[in-house]
Every structure is written in C-alpha cells, then in structure tokens.
Copies of this chain bind each other. A is one copy, B any other.
Amino acid sequence: MTAQPAARVTIKDVAARAGVSKGAVSLAFNHKPGLSEATRDRIFRAARELGWAPNLTARTLAGSRVDVVGLAICRPARLLGLEPFYMEFISGVESVLTEHSCSLLLRLVRNVEEEVGLQEAWWRGRQIGGAILVDFRPDDPRVAAAERLGMPVVAVGHPSLTGGLTSVWTDDATAVTEAVRYLAALGHRRIARVGGAAALGHTAARTAAFDEAARTLELAGAWQVTTDYSGEAGARATRSMLTAAAADRPTAIVYDNDIMAVAGLSVAAEMGLRVPDDVSLLAWDDSQLCRLTHPTLSAMSHDVHGFGADAARTLFEVITGEGGGSHPVPTPVLTPRGSTAPPRM
C-alpha cells in the first residue's frame, strides 16, 4: 500500500507563505501564546489559501495527542450484521468522538487472544490514544493486557469482570430480576429465558440473577438456555420450549436480545400459538425492531446509543486523567407492549 504521488502542502509551505518559521505556524495552530494577533492572522490566511491542515500522523509522532480510539468486536461477522446493538452502540460512541474530532478505528476479531494482540499493536504503534473494550468474559486477558500496557481504556462490563479497569456497565442482575418479577406478577409461574453467548460475562450474570429470582419467587418451572444470539438459535430454543409437554411448557419467555425475541414470535405464530394469550414474550435491548412486529414486543428497554456515548465520554476522562471512575448506566427499564399479558390456561 504505497502513497500516491500527490503534491501535499506542508507546514513549511504555509510558513514560507506567511513569512514566518514553521515553529510559528505550529504555535498558531495549537492556539498557544507567543504570537501577535497580526502574525496569527497572516498564518491562518496563508493556511487557508493553501488549503493546509496539520498532518495528524506527524503530529502524533511528535508526541502530542492521538485522535483515534480503538474498538475491536469479537463476534462472528454474520451475526454482527443483524445485531442492532453494536451499530447503535457505535453510533453512540461516534456521537461523542465527533465532538472531540476523534475517529474510531474498528476491527472485527475472531477471539480474545487476537484482540489482545491487536490492541497491543495499535497502542504500541501509536495508532490509538485509547480503546473501548466490550464483551467481557470471566478472567478476561484484556484486563491484564491493558494494565501492563498502561493504555487508557474503558471496559464495558460489570466491575466483577473488568478488574481494576475503569468500566461502564448495565445492572443486568437488577434488570433480569425486574423482568422475572414482572412476569410473575402477571401470574406466570413457568418462565423461561433464552440467553446469549454462554462465554460472555454478562450472560453468566443474567443467568445467575434469573436463577436467584426464580428461587426467591418460588417459580418451579424456571428454565433457561444459552445460545449464540442469532435469530436461528432463538427460534430453535423457542421451538424446543414450546413443544415441551403442556405441564412443562413455559407461559412466558425472556430473550437476551431482540432478534431472538422476533424469532420467538415467529415460532409461536408458526405453531399456532397466540401471543400474548398462549405465551408471553419479553425482548431485551429494545431496538426499533420491537415496535415493528405484530404484536409489538414488550422489552427491557435500554438506551444503547446513550450507553455508547457514555462509554466514549468515560474513555476521554480516562485519557485526560480526570478520575473517570466506573459507573453504571441506567438500568434497562421495562417497556410493556403487546407481547406480554397474564397467562390464559
């Protein structure tokens, strides 16, 4: 990948045109003191006339800032396309980065080890000024790696998973508990959950919280499985739940994302079951999708865009060294729509 032979204008050209040294141009463009208003104006005029903008690569090398943050996502590419979560998260991140005229370096990776290597290469190579780490799993190697490198990062995940890293997280346990309580309050006793990827830390947290809630509420028929977050997996799981013997068949199912909930809805329809009369469905994340189905999907609603923005903001705090303590974002709130109702035996 070689550079094109294009006559690029550099700081030297601007300096020559303004009749000053390149040091002066640098001062002007970084709004540092030591220049008269007149010279400053002359420099900016010259730069404008030449269409010059500082070369960020050189600027980075010279040791000041790095205007890029890294984000590596580790999920099968095919699934990513469909998961509204990430794109919405990214758009939230972007909205904050843009304010700081900062860009996002994105990369899809196959596994955590690859991500560790990538982040290290990015950091060592001064490609990024910090990173957002997502999808934590127990004993995640990225915690140690980030600390070893001294790289500013914000971890998106519960503190129990992210070690000493500054983190931003949703209170999954509370949200799951609320979801189960809601369904139980409607009168459901046999409640099932179609979870996400078992390897992920927050899936484990939700699974534990679900168990706990079922025990507290003395729900005999609680039942949960984990999947890969795909619609197909969601459909499969739902199908196997709904074809169980009538005495075991759940009357309400909670999903770990909205894609699987949509798939569940379709399975119910295909089996001739009415939602919510025969079975209630409760989605998670609540993208626009939940309002597009019929019936509309009740969901644990979550401002994913805001979540991303919050993560980015926190990263900036870490980078500038202003505390940037860990904190939770608002817990997903229950948004009842058309897919949940009391069970009709």
Contacts and interface: CB of A to CB of B under 8 A. Distances in A.
A6 B289 contact: no
A191 to B, nearest CB: 22
A263 B288 CA distance: 10
A127 interface: yes
A92 B108 CA distance: 10
A122 B53 CA distance: 10
Interface residues of A, number: 88
Number of this chain's copies in the complex: 2
Q: Rank and list the top 10 A-B pairs by shortest CB-CB distance, nearest first.
A: A81-B88, A77-B91, A269-B294, A56-B125, A266-B294, A1-B65, A6-B150, A231-B292, A57-B126, A263-B292
B3 A82 contact: no
Nearest to A76: B91
A305 B78 contact: yes
A61 interface: yes
A105 interface: yes
Interface in A270-325: 270, 287-289, 291-294, 296, 304-305, 316, 319-320
Interface in A158-177: none
A246 interface: no
